[in-house]
Amino acid sequence: MTAAGPYLESRATSPALPAPRGVLSASVLSALRGSSETLPEPQVVSAFDPYGEDLQLALYVLYELHYQGFEGVSDDKEWDPDLLRVRGDLESRFLSALRTDVPSNSNTEDALASLLVEPAPGEGTGVSHHLQGEGQLWQVREYAALRSLYHLKEADPHAWVIPRLHGRAKAGMVAVEYDEFGAGRAEDIHARLFADLLDGLGLDHTYGAYLDTAPAPALCTVNLMSLFGLHRALRGALVGHFAAVEITSSPGSRRLAKAMRKTGAGPAAEHFYDEHIEADAVHEQVVRHEVIGPLLAAEPHLDADVAIGIRATDLLEEKLSTYVLGAWLDHRSALRFPLTAAEGDISTRDRALKKKNP
């Protein structure tokens, strides 16, 4: 922690609305503030880059109404029919691009096999390989800020699939989610462990603190989970996404744990990734054999959807990795607004804590 006194939960308050990044996000944000401004029509949405800043922020904001909401925005907006219509148009643009950009003839077995191949030592090109080999503390802090958009809601999007599964698949999914949510211990919830990591790095652990600074490739990876999670028809894709996360997490976390020690990121950062090395190695087996196996046995027509979930996850993670490493190798920040050295000294969380405990 970076402030004395009671611990303030990451999601104790709702975040402020972010700044717009174009006409789509501006119209959505205006509607959330109560403006009567006309929302964009489908033909307008269809002209925007499906992976771009404007569309992805607009979609992210609308999805957040189903999580924590925003300060000053009525909870009724979650089911506002006009906003839901726009969200559907944005989702359609995003999903169509994903279906175009991932292999259409893939099946689950082949998609899973592609995840199980680890590069030889010294040959990996992803962010975790870079941080383990040449990473610096400022890059670790940027990576933590980027990943906070997901990790502070870790496992929440995947929980939406539970009522859409049955039998062994449901039991297996619940078993993994139980671990993700701390196995009954609030201090061990993975989102809480990541909040501790942010504290240890001098960053703000308040939910949504780094939304304005996160570029579109980071928004895409989080929006993908919400897209799959909020639609029963995409339950197979959500299971595929979960499998991709769990299968790649253990080796990636091993590299990141080494990076945390190498850069002096602190014990909380080390603990977060150490926890994921062992836990996610077990989760991988459960997801493959106790979730995907029974799901496809019961609903074999979902095979292509599970594969799409895996491939789309890999696609967007690769886009994010390319973006981040491109910036770092060019000696630039990968964030829209670089962090300061003392980012956590006067944070949103600290201000909220002082307000709550004057």
Complete DSSP assignment for 3-38 = SSSSPPPTTSSPPPPPPP-SHHHHHHHHHHTT--PP
Identify the pLDDT of residue 4.
42
**Highest CATH level, class, for 106-356:** mainly alpha
Specify the domain boundaries for CATH 1.20.910.10 within the chain.
106-356
* pLDDT band per the 50, 70, 90 thresholds, residue 96: very high
**Rounded to an integer, what distance in angstroms lies between the CA atom of residue 120 and that of residue 128?**
14
Identify the pLDDT of residue 37.
79
Beta-sheet strands, E only, within 269-310:
none
User: Which of 41, 45, 64, 42 lies closest to 54, judged by CA?
Assistant: 45
**Higher pLDDT pick, 332 / 357:** 332
Maximum Cα–Cα distance across the chain: 60
User: Which of 140, 139, 154, 177 lies closest to 268, judged by CA?
Assistant: 140
Buried b (16+ CB within 10 A) or exposed e, 23-44: ebbbbbbbbbeeeeeebbeeee
Average pLDDT, stretch 257-282? Answer: 92
Cβ 299 vs Cβ 203: under 8 Å: no
Beta-sheet strands, E only, within the chain:
none
Identify the pLDDT of residue 283.
84
* pLDDT band per the 50, 70, 90 thresholds, residue 36: confident
In this prediction, what percent of the chain has a pLDDT beyond 90?
Answer: 80
**Rounded to an integer, what distance in angstroms lies between the CA atom of residue 219 and that of residue 50?**
12
**Higher pLDDT pick, 335 / 353:** 335
Question: What angle (nearest 5°) sits at the alpha carbon of residue 150, between those of residues 145 and 156?
Answer: 150
Identify the pLDDT of residue 121.
65
The model's pLDDT over 283-331, given as tens digits with 9 standing for 90+, comes to: 888 999 999 999 999 999 999 999 999 999 999 999 999 999 999 999 9
Q: Residues near 256 by Cβ (< 8 Å), separated by ≥ 6?
A: 128, 131, 132, 273
